[in-house]
Structure 1
Amino acid sequence: MMPLLYLLNVLLLLGLGLQLHKQAWAKALQPYMLPALGLKLLCGVLLGVLYFHYYGEGDTITYFNASQKLTQLAHENSGAYWRLLLFNQFPSETFRATVPFTQFADFSNSFFLLKVLSLFNLLTGSSYYLIGLYFSLFSFWGMARLAATLSFVFPDTKKAAILALLFFPSVVFWSSGLLKDAVLMGSMCWVMASVLQLAHGQKQTIVTWLLLPLQLYLFVKIKIFFAALLLSLLTCYLVLKVLSRTIKPLQALKVQLLILAGFMALAIVTVWQISGIFSFDFIAEQLFKTYKGLLALSLGRPHLHYSSLQPTLASIVLNAPKAFFSAIYRPFIGESSEVLYLLLGLENLLLAVLTTIAIVSASSKIWLQKIELWHIILVLFIVASAIVVGISTPNFGTLSRYRIIFLPFLVYLLLQNRFAQRQLAKLR
């Protein structure tokens, strides 16, 4: 029975991959589509190998093992399972105590992932690697769709978009496999692609409109703070681009930036006045709490250290430059002799080289194209995300994983100069 189940899942995965390849937007990614998809699926498998056979522990293992308890409940009491899945109603407190991430079940993105995994356990017979392939395929769907949309809206940057989203090493690896990050990147990029299409007048199919609420829900559920930031910026971008079609003064970048600045000022004042999970005080406290928790687990290994960090907004601002720099360029080569840190160091060296080339190109006025509002939106998201990730994540291994939320967009922007584009043009 199990071999047949595995065979059916493999056939389903092949069918879904073929369906993606047949999508109209996928034509913009040829001839890179299939190699990128193959690499993504391979990374989904390699991620499991890394955690099970090298680390021996980690989030992906914890999620998979914990989800088995929910799957067991489905086999023993289907009614109780569906009440838990849909309404977070636990069959008993004893059962609840055996499942991690249930203290705040209604808000926990980790517990939400357990419920999703339990469904995939039923589908795959609790096959870790098959689930990892499904997650990898979902992630690829969103990221490839965004790369294709960028290729259509900004055709001169097609290869930059493809490289940044589909082939940059840590981006591809950490957005694959059985992790929250795969769901995050798939849903986030899918939403970004839809906003770009709407903003630039591309027609949306009925299927796209039906899928959009689900993708939004997944994005918000997995990373609510980053979702709030990015969705606010995307909303502003969409409104400005739509209005600029009929209001000519809005077509000027300076006017767009003034309106964007006003929107940001209003947002900051609003957040300053509110309390709860979106207040500055709460955010600062959570960043500090996360930093302290991960710092305790990082002792004895290379890590970031903020000697003056306190759970206040002022302290976060003072440490922001170091956090931003570290989130992008550390660890350096030589901070550790471990193979994984050396690979990270090499990638960060590449980022430093790309940054240098971009700065020189900008100062020499050989930038590929004029600055667009979309580029400013990406810069704002990159800066804010890098600061948050850099402050809250002292462990370099975890940092390399968490920073993929902004890293592909940074790489995409760094490749917007003529020198980089000439090198990309040589790729076949």
Structure 2
Amino acid sequence: MLLVYFLNLLLLTGLSWWLYKQDWAQNLKPYLLPALGLKLLCGVLLGLLYYHYYGAGDTITYFESSQKLTQLANNDAGAYWRLLLFNEFPSEAFRATVPFTAFADFSNSFFLLKIISLFNLLTGSSYYLVGLYFSLFSFWGMAKLTATLSTVFPETRKAAIVALLFFPSVVFWSSGLLKDAVLMGSMCWVMAFVLQLAHRQKLTIVTWLLVPLQLYLFVKIKVFFAALLLGMLTCYLMIQYLSRTIKSLQNIKIQLLTLAGFIVAAIVAVWHVSGIFSVEFILHHLVKTYDGLLALSLHGPHLSYSSLETTISSIVANSPKAFFSAIYQPLIGESLEPLYLLLGLENLLLLLLTAVAIVAVFKKEWLQKIELWHVILLLFIVASAIVIGISTPNFGTLSRYRIIFLPFLVYLLLQNRIAQRWLARL
């Protein structure tokens, strides 16, 4: 086992060095190595938190369940690869022993089990080594997006570094053996690719070859958020390309009107579709998820709605509360548990940053002109915060799920001269 650890740590070191030597990574020096070290450390701390404080949780369930697939690989390699590639189970009896298999073709949790099982074969089923690989993958995508933002919008370099690489809950919950690490790594990588493509930056052959894999991972892990963000990124890419030949589209007001037209067309299209992207299914799924998590959250501080129904009017009426709660709750004092106190302190910081940003707007202290990219991020933040706030009443779970939009919120809040002066002193 010592040899397995040594070889894997050697491989992890090699991959880290490869990242460090990438051209885009040079934009992040001298912050890259400290950020990477923090990320890998958080991957280990997350495992310690769940194994030695909670004693249970998603990460433990995923890892222990993946052992059944790993055992199949050791006993019958052919059956394992058929399961991995085609979801063909060796028997119904075996299927009954593996969780998340009721809808194996659609379950992102079962998809994650298959990924973990591959890393089990590489690491000798070492939880912490697998967590380090997941953390490194997450860091790759998030660091690449940070570097791309630093190049495309150089005035916001420090804001991007803080928001994506050092903001506490963003770093912690996007590390270790969780779906969120795969989600953030693939999502941020795709966002960086779109920005590079839209702003005509050089793209290598390796980058083009990786696009299908990163898109596949993003969609498989979070299909609804992937559909939302990919739709917005497509609009951004189209407007940027059209603006090269249509001069009027270089005006931000015209760009926003065009974006509004795209959004209206998308809403009309969604209104008439059926299946998992239908309005009825989405509303039903939101309320069902809320009811299920609420039953498990009554013992601690949680978010509750007096009336939440599967209607658009009900969702709209509860949206302001959902939006506020997803960003700023739990507040200091809502719970004396150590983890909730830490969350409360971070949320207090978010409230402070929000207040500073509002003051900066009135004092005309904004760092730069509004770009279409900022509007895209803002729309994604609002939509994601409402969806997560509506469906996730447990504040602990909420703090984890919100990292899909939180770094972009922090990034926008730091784009003012008041915040920039603070960052310059750090």
Report the TM-score, using the length of structure 1 for normalisation. Answer: 0.99
Over residues 342-390 of structure 1, what are the superposed CA-to-partner deviations in whole Å (9 max), with x where a residue is unaligned? 0000000000000000011112211110000000000000000000000
Contact 1:109 1:221 in 2 (8 A): yes
Contact 1:288 1:309 in 2 (8 A): yes
SS at match of 1:412: helix
SS at match of 2:296: helix
In structure 2, distance between residues paired with 1:307 and 1:88: 42
In structure 2, distance between residues paired with 1:169 and 1:29: 18
Deviation of the 1:244 alpha carbon: 1.0
1:379 pairs with 2:350: no
Over residues 263-290 of structure 1, what are the superposed CA-to-partner deviations in whole Å (9 max), with x where a residue is unaligned? 0000001111111110111101000010
Residue matched to 2:188: 189
Residue matched to 2:91: 92
SS at match of 1:328: helix
In structure 2, distance between residues paired with 1:28 and 1:327: 32
Residue matched to 1:178: 177
Deviation of the 1:422 alpha carbon: 1.0
Residue matched to 1:406: 405
1:220 pairs with 2:216: no
In structure 1, distance between residues paired with 2:3 and 2:344: 44
Deviation of the 1:9 alpha carbon: 0.2
Residue matched to 1:103: 102
Deviation of the 1:245 alpha carbon: 1.6
Identity, % of aligned pairs?
78
SS at match of 2:418: helix
Residue matched to 2:424: 425
In structure 2, distance between residues paired with 1:236 and 1:299: 41
Deviation of the 1:246 alpha carbon: 2.1
Residue matched to 2:359: 360
Residue matched to 2:234: 235
Aligned residue type for 1:58: G
Deviation of the 1:242 alpha carbon: 1.5
Residue matched to 1:337: 336
Over residues 98-149 of structure 1, what are the superposed CA-to-partner deviations in whole Å (9 max), with x where a residue is unaligned? 0000000000000000000100000000000000000000000000000000
User: Counterparts in 2 of 1:269-288, with a 5 A limit?
Assistant: 269-288=268-287
1:308 pairs with 2:304: no
Aligned residue type for 1:29: L
Contact 1:51 1:57 in 2 (8 A): yes
In structure 2, distance between residues paired with 1:270 and 1:244: 25
SS at match of 2:324: helix
User: Counterparts in 2 of 1:26-45, with a 5 A limit?
Assistant: 26-45=25-44
SS at match of 1:333: coil
SS at match of 2:335: coil
Deviation of the 1:315 alpha carbon: 1.0
In structure 2, distance between residues paired with 1:292 and 1:183: 27
Aligned residue type for 1:227: A
SS at match of 1:298: coil
In structure 2, distance between residues paired with 1:257 and 1:243: 13
User: Counterparts in 2 of 1:1-400, with a 5 A limit?
Assistant: 2-400=1-399
Aligned residue type for 2:271: W
Instruction: Out of 364-373 and 397-406, give the one that drifted further.
Output: 364-373
In structure 2, distance between residues paired with 1:91 and 1:105: 14
Over residues 183-240 of structure 1, what are the superposed CA-to-partner deviations in whole Å (9 max), with x where a residue is unaligned? 0000000000000011111010000000011000000000000000000000010111
In structure 2, distance between residues paired with 1:294 and 1:394: 7
Aligned residue type for 1:98: T
Aligned residue type for 1:373: L
Deviation of the 1:423 alpha carbon: 1.1
Aligned residue type for 1:129: Y
Contact 1:51 1:61 in 2 (8 A): yes
Contact 1:88 1:106 in 2 (8 A): yes
Contact 1:142 1:186 in 2 (8 A): yes
In structure 2, distance between residues paired with 1:359 and 1:312: 33
Aligned residue type for 1:215: Q
In structure 1, distance between residues paired with 2:310 and 2:49: 34
User: What stretches of structure 1 of length at least 5 have no aligned partner?
Assistant: none
In structure 1, distance between residues paired with 2:362 and 2:283: 36
Deviation of the 1:14 alpha carbon: 0.3
In structure 2, distance between residues paired with 1:365 and 1:278: 41
SS at match of 1:358: helix
SS at match of 2:103: coil
Deviation of the 1:426 alpha carbon: 2.0
In structure 2, distance between residues paired with 1:222 and 1:59: 14
Deviation of the 1:88 alpha carbon: 0.2
User: What stretches of structure 2 of length at least 5 have no aligned partner?
Assistant: none
Over residues 369-427 of structure 1, what are the superposed CA-to-partner deviations in whole Å (9 max), with x where a residue is unaligned? 00000000000000000000000000000000000000000000000110001111223
Aligned residue type for 2:249: L
Aligned residue type for 1:118: S
Contact 1:287 1:392 in 2 (8 A): yes
Q: How many residue pairs get matched?
A: 426
Deviation of the 1:307 alpha carbon: 1.3
Deviation of the 1:243 alpha carbon: 1.6
Deviation of the 1:39 alpha carbon: 0.1
In structure 2, distance between residues paired with 1:363 and 1:370: 14
